[in-house]
Amino acid sequence: MSATFLGMPGNFPKNAEKAVQNSQLRFNLRKATHTIRGKRASVVGELPDWQELRAAGKAIKDHTLRNLDRYLVQMEEAVTRAGGTVHWARDAAEANRIVADLVKATGETEVVKVKSMATQEINLNDALAAEGITAYETDLAELIVQLGDDFPSHILVPAIHRNRSEIREIFLEKMPKVPDNLTDDPPALAEAARLHLRERFLKSKVAISGANFMVAETGTLVVLESEGNGRMCLTLPRTLISVVGIEKLLPSWRDLEVFLQLLPRSSTGERMNPYTSMWTGAVEGQDFHLVLLDNGRTDVLADEVGRQALRCIRCSACLNVCPVYERAGGHAYGSVYPGPIGAILTPQLRGMGSDLDASLPYASSLCGACYEVCPVAIDIPEVLVDLRAKAPHAAAERAGMKVAGWIFNDHTRLAKAQRVATRLRKLVPKRLPGPLSAWTDTRDIPDIPEESFRDWWERNERA
């Protein structure tokens, strides 16, 4: 059963400290992220109108989010008209209960799953296991994570932290019927996974999926993938249950066209992804259920700065360029959403009540590379700074910031404070005492000049 991050202890700096000591992990991450980042840059560079496409993606998402109530109802009506059933889930518990009840109603105890971040977010596999239902991941990387009883560490390549010899070991240990002479050649590993999964596809009567997009005008769901496993999963079983976050909606097919260009180029660095599956309601011989998941998204939508995170199309381009992610890896974020998008989405979805979630807005150097590559122009640094202000702070830090704010808000007060500081400059220690020492553990206090710029300017202007 694949593990989930819920209730994970620690905080980002502690988790990252451990991760950066793993040189194999750093090597795997660097190699993988630099390869994908290079491919992305080259296919994005082919489009002279990339910035216009990006602006269109942003505008479509903003329009949809502003009118989400209307488009969600339109989606429900369209799916129902096409023979599907729509369920509304306020939170993870409700979504898990709906899915478990639907599976139980079929009499089955096994389901196949095609990669879905929403179901990882709500910890569906464990919830199903508690009801005696076993969920089998069918996306190759998710399968590796599940068999290795591991955590996903990347949005697009959840097993990015594993190299091929580690994958071979996992297959030999956990995959029944795998030959002892299995090599770590990628085609051999892929073939072993294919044979393993084929059996599951043919046996399973229930499938659970996510979706990259939902088109409100016709009630159509869209999944983009590379392996074809998704299509098997979506078409073979008699019951299909799709769990989709409410922000995945697009008004029309015309809007979808923009995202079918933005997503493959930003995620896998391809002009077009190999498999695009679309379905509308129930087809003959198959029941279809759509579970629309909120789980904190409405609260995010209410936040003027933070709501832009809901534009995210989970391409993972921001992870692949992030210097912090490249060194710390995905597990340090303690969430199914790692990297820059995780640093702004997780604290908004889960709140900042835990040490881990309150530390995430600081998991960034604010270099802005994430914003530059984001295909829907999410200003991640802006949201990070906003969340830092909202994060819990120690009473001493809050008091210090209040005093600093009072001084900086008035030029006379600031001039006086600068003069006092220059007079006392010799007394300023190189390391701060007590709880303030955390500041000087990793940085030097800058030398205070003999004269402030303000005084220097005044003196020279007068001269």
Convert residues 169-208 into a mask of x (bound to ligand SF4 by CB under 6 A) and - (unbound). Answer: ----------------------------------------
Question: Using the rule CB under 6 A, is 161 a contact of ligand SF4?
Answer: no
Whole-number Å distance between alpha carbons of 333 and 336:
8
Place of tokens 């210090």: 400
Return the number of the residue (281 or 339) whose C-beta is nearest ligand SF4: 339
Q: Which residues contact 414 (CB under 8 A, 6 or more apart)?
A: 407, 408, 454
Task: Compute the radius of gyration of the chain from its Cα atoms.
Answer: 25
Q: Which two tokens stand for residue 194?
A: 């294919």
Residue closer to ligand SF4 by CB (options 19, 341) is 341
Please identify which residue in 232, 341, 358, 363 interacts with ligand SF4, judged by CB under 6 A: 341
Segment near ligand SF4 (CB under 6 A); pick from 71-79, 119-127, 322-330, 374-382: 374-382
Identity of the amino acid at 34:
H
Scanning residues 264 to 283, which ones bind ligand SF4 (CB under 6 A)? Answer: 266
387 binds ligand SF4 (CB under 6 A): no
What stretch of H or E contains 328? Answer: helix 323-328
Q: Is 347 in the site for ligand SF4 (CB under 6 A)?
A: no
Binding to ligand SF4 by residue 376, rule CB under 6 A?
yes
Question: Rule CB under 6 A: is residue 316 a binding residue for ligand SF4?
Answer: yes
Site stretch for ligand SF4 (CB under 6 A), options 293-301, 353-361, 371-379, 428-436? 371-379
Strands 206-209 and 239-245: parallel
351-360 contacts: CB < 8 A, separation 24 or more? Answer: 351/296, 352/387, 352/390, 352/391, 352/392, 355/9, 355/10, 355/11, 356/8, 356/9, 356/10, 356/11, 356/12, 356/15, 358/11, 358/391, 358/392, 359/11, 359/12, 359/13, 360/12, 360/333, 360/335, 360/387
- Contacts with ligand SF4 by CB under 6 A: the residue count is 14
Q: 219 vs 338, which CB is nearer to ligand SF4?
A: 338
Figure out which of the listed residues 56, 68, 214, 378 binds ligand SF4, where binding follows CB under 6 A. Answer: 378
**Which member of 261, 375, 387, 418 binds ligand SF4 (CB under 6 A)?**
375
Choose the binding region for ligand SF4 from 174-182, 268-276, 283-291, 307-315 (rule: CB under 6 A). 307-315
Shortest reach from residue 359's CB to ligand SF4, in Å: 19
Contact with ligand SF4 (CB under 6 A) among 60, 72, 313, 349: 313
CB-neighbour burial class of residue 364 (10 A; exposed 0-12, middle 13-18, buried 19+): buried
- Report the distance separating Cα 95 and Cα 49, nearest Å: 40
Minimum distance from residue 316 beta carbon to ligand SF4 (Å)? 5
Of the candidates 81, 67, 75, the residue with the CA atom closest to the CA atom of residue 215: 75
Q: Which helix (H) or strand (E) holds 453?
A: helix 453-462
Contact residues: ligand SF4, CB under 6 A = 266, 312-318, 341, 373-376, 378
